Structure 1
Amino acid sequence: MTVRAVDVPLLWMPHALRVNPHLPALHEESESWARAMGMLDGYPGPPARPAIWSRAKFHAMTVDQLTAWTLPDASLSDLRLNHRFNIWALAWDDYFASAFKQTGDLAGARAFTTRLHAFLRPERGARLPEPTNAVERGIADLQQHLFPPRLDHWRVEFNRALARYIDAGVEELANSRSGRIPHLIDYAPFRRESFAAYTAPYSVELSTGARIPAKIRHTRTVQALLDAFMDFMGLANDIASYEREVHEENDVNNLVLVVGTSLGITLHAAVPAALHLVNARLREFEHLRQSELPLLVHRSGLDHDERAELETWLRGACGFLSGLHAWYTGAPRYASGDGSFPE
């Protein structure tokens, strides 16, 4: 017996979608970097493992739209840079799924991940290993460009976030092999890591040129706002990608399964419960942004320029979330085969 899946557009989103005006230019060059890295059919280098994507599959993912929707204020050069990172993150995800998740090769996953760590070097000009596959080639290239002088302060934190991201893939595989569904209490912070959500503030800063002012950056209110910001990303993705992750990849690391197992409820009840949790995290972000953050700004004595910079960053964060929402609810990558969940 099946029950109708939750209609993904029911994910709440109070912010209108804004589209970067450079989307047409990004679309024209969308596949050039992916092909140069060996992620697409037609890579000119020596024969190796089959490409991660066909040209048709790559364009169906509409990564250019994801980038232009999430970074509506970015310049074309910054948009290109984040576009390459988005391509790489999806390439890692699909490569890892086909090479290790679908085969259950935990030892191979660990070896692959250990080697990938060698490319995540925080030191400027660090000597990297010679890449042997498209994922390594992509991250090696990105390490040369992700940290221009105005973003050099991100070098350590960004690479730490990527290390968490790839390590989480191994933990997800271990969970799937053992049939261990994570507990709800542990899952939200883990999902920030497995979604690479800790890199998202970098993307907002790249797009807007603004940072959260240092006076308030490490306060409880701002940390809670960032947690809610990051939680929406990964948890909403779980709802959008349920069909592909659970039924195609046999993955147990998904909010719907986590909620059902942790609360001891049926899948029929777990679907709306998971949706409610996702929407609750976004409502918490909105509450903190609109009610608690203004009080903190007043108490902290931020000057006019600091307040303006904070507002610019927040506008970028809201644009990032609305762009993700649009991609989750419209991209073919998240289209369900029959729109149903098993009972």
Structure 2
Amino acid sequence: MTEPFVRPMFYMPFASGGVHPHCDMAREHTKVWARTMGLFDPEYEELSDGAWSEARCIAADIPKFAAMTTPDVAPAELELGADWHTATWFFDDVFLPGCLKSGDRADTRARLDRLLAFMPVRPQMPPLLPNNALERCLTDLWARSAWRMSEDWRRRITGAWRTYFAGSLWEVDNLQRERHPDYIDYFQMRRDFGAAGIAAALLEMACGTEIRQDVYDSQPFQALFQAYRDLADLNNDVVSYAKDEASGETANNAVNALQRQLGCSLQQAADLTNDLMTSRVHTLQTAADEDLPALLHERGTSRHEQQQIARYIRALQTWLAGSYDWHETTARYGAPAAGLHLPTGLGTSAARCLQNLHLSGARR
């Protein structure tokens, strides 16, 4: 897959935790789990026009994504996270092409509403019986996840899925109508059809640290959270541009939206997207290091809770660094970026630090 522009060097000051030592076992677990759920049934490869298959899923190495974004969690949490991410990617690769083929918006909405019913905030009796692979996945994942978490958390993650589904409908509409949104419209909706909000809720569970609802709703936390979502989504847009171009889906890519808005070259749009990402890193840092601690102190939050919140924020930052690294290595988006290739592995963090010092000085 040929890169249509020289991929910019991303500013990422947060330390990656490397790869979870349980990664190989998570790969085997998730492969067996996906087969058991029926995710690799031949009908789904046909429905996705070849975008989804067992071979492609294994090549993408979704368990490694989980292992790089949550390198310190318990092995069982890693396996659970890898399963959740695999189901999410299945939705993205199989559901959207299916919608484009059917063209029946009412049926699409009904199917989405039914999927949400497999993630009830409160137990429902009798339980809904699954009819397809994705419904089987959600039945299993919800049973393994939801009932050890609070009702507030369950509302948050179901809300994140509802937002993701609504954003996906908007994404499908763009493709069906050949509509190219302006950049502001795109940027507002990109958070919705990205799955970073789901991943953030899953991270609370994996870390064993729930964010209290009043803290979650506060302005500093939301500033941090939205910056995290933007970084995850915009990084994906830059790295996946060649894949989106090959599949005719650049209408739903920030680089394309910015190029059309400004009338600039594709390279300039990619570089400007990277500048925006750098700015969002600084927003996240300020909220995490200054604004949120000041609010917690003002509210008299206990020392223990402050430490738990700080632990979760560090996990979000590690998640971002791991996501950036995974995007550079996965077969899902083709060849690694051209240009500077930093060494990876034990003892190479200094190289990343030097790169980030250069970028920080250049872009601040």
Give me the TM-score of the superposition, normalised by structure 1: 0.86
Q: Distance in 1 between matches of 2:239 and 2:164?
A: 19
Q: Alignment length, in residue pairs? A: 331
Asked whether the equivalents of residues 4 and 242 of structure 2 are also in contact (C-alpha less than 8 Å), the reply is no
Deviation string, structure 1 residues 236-278 (Cα, Å, up to 9, x no partner)? 1111111112331434111011112223333232121112112
| Other-structure match for 1:323 | 322
SS at structure 2 position matched to 1:252: helix
Deviation at 1:3, TM superposition (A): 8.6
Deviation at 1:34, TM superposition (A): 0.6
> Is the alpha carbon distance of 1:93 and 1:302 closer, same or farther for their aligned partners in structure 2, counting shifts above 3 Å?
same
Q: Distance in 1 between matches of 2:125 and 2:74?
A: 28
Does residue 1:6 correspond to 2:41, yes or no? Answer: no
| Other-structure match for 2:268 | 269
Asked whether the equivalents of residues 164 and 196 of structure 1 are also in contact (C-alpha less than 8 Å), the reply is no
Deviation at 1:17, TM superposition (A): 1.6
Asked whether the equivalents of residues 104 and 173 of structure 1 are also in contact (C-alpha less than 8 Å), the reply is no
Does residue 1:26 correspond to 2:19, yes or no? Answer: no
Asked whether the equivalents of residues 119 and 139 of structure 1 are also in contact (C-alpha less than 8 Å), the reply is yes
Q: For structure 1, which runs of at least 5 residues remain unmatched after alignment?
A: 43-47
Deviation at 1:50, TM superposition (A): 4.9
Deviation at 1:214, TM superposition (A): 5.7
- Aligned CA RMSD, in angstroms, stands at 2.7
Deviation at 1:66, TM superposition (A): 0.6
> Is the alpha carbon distance of 1:31 and 1:151 closer, same or farther for their aligned partners in structure 2, counting shifts above 3 Å?
farther
Asked whether the equivalents of residues 194 and 233 of structure 2 are also in contact (C-alpha less than 8 Å), the reply is yes
Asked whether the equivalents of residues 67 and 82 of structure 1 are also in contact (C-alpha less than 8 Å), the reply is yes
| Other-structure match for 1:45 | none
SS at structure 2 position matched to 1:293: helix
Does residue 1:87 correspond to 2:86, yes or no? Answer: yes
| Other-structure match for 2:202 | 203
Q: Distance in 1 between matches of 2:66 and 2:34?
A: 15
Does residue 1:309 correspond to 2:295, yes or no? Answer: no
Asked whether the equivalents of residues 74 and 208 of structure 1 are also in contact (C-alpha less than 8 Å), the reply is yes
User: Which of structure 1's runs of 4+ aligned residues deviate more than 6 A?
Assistant: none
2:285 counterpart letter in structure 1: E
Q: What are the within-5 Å matches in structure 2 for residues 157-236 of structure 1?
A: 157-212=156-211, 216-236=215-235
> Is the alpha carbon distance of 1:291 and 1:49 closer, same or farther for their aligned partners in structure 2, counting shifts above 3 Å?
closer
| Other-structure match for 1:141 | 140
Q: Distance in 1 between matches of 2:80 and 2:126?
A: 21
Asked whether the equivalents of residues 221 and 293 of structure 1 are also in contact (C-alpha less than 8 Å), the reply is yes
Q: Distance in 1 between matches of 2:104 and 2:270?
A: 30
> Is the alpha carbon distance of 1:338 and 1:24 closer, same or farther for their aligned partners in structure 2, counting shifts above 3 Å?
closer
Deviation at 1:127, TM superposition (A): 4.2
Deviation at 1:16, TM superposition (A): 2.2
| Other-structure match for 1:131 | 130
Q: What are the within-5 Å matches in structure 2 for residues 27-46 of structure 1?
A: 27-41=27-41
Deviation at 1:182, TM superposition (A): 2.0
